Structure 1
Amino acid sequence: MRTYGADCFGLPDFAAHAQGHHEGQKYSDIFNNVLRYLLESGAEMAAGHTMQVGKTTFMKLRDPLDDEYYLQGPGTTLVVELIEEDECNAH
């Protein structure tokens, strides 16, 4: 799943490897909330950043891998990996 067109607002697009269509609403809600936050606050996000998106759930951002060429676009695309709180500082 991914967003398109956020670069028109100076924002990154987001992508995630969902397990299936049943996760569509979850990722749509996360992406919409994060993009709204970035647009309204002027905050910036980049690969390596994390952000809390649930009570104990965080999204960790990374750049697309070389074999994820299909995520390349006109602007920046960040890949979202959902992790739990105890994984935030794990090496």
Structure 2
Amino acid sequence: MGATKPSGDHWPFMEFKIALSVTDTAADGHHVRVRLLHKPVGSQQVFTWPWRSNTAGSGETLSVSTTAQSEAGIEHTGVEVARFEGDRKLNSCTDWN
């Protein structure tokens, strides 16, 4: 995951450029998903963005470029990657930028 923060005095309230990617590394019949997380300015509350699914199979990578903006501002960005069986999350991990 990569996030390009805008510049200027009001950067938390401007549009961020976001790059997400996830590779399915296990031939286990499950698919993987990735999503953006963010914390607004002055808060530890975590907001989750929609999942992006990689159902192409083992060894395949999904790459997504998008933007993010919030009225409350974005102070921190993060990513959650998870392994799914259908719509059931089996396990996941997160990392903050």
TM-score if structure 1 supplies the norm length?
Answer: 0.26
Larger radius of gyration: 2
Higher share in helix: 1
Would you tell me which structure has more strand in proportion to its own residues?
A: 2
TM-score calculated relative to the size of structure 2:
0.25
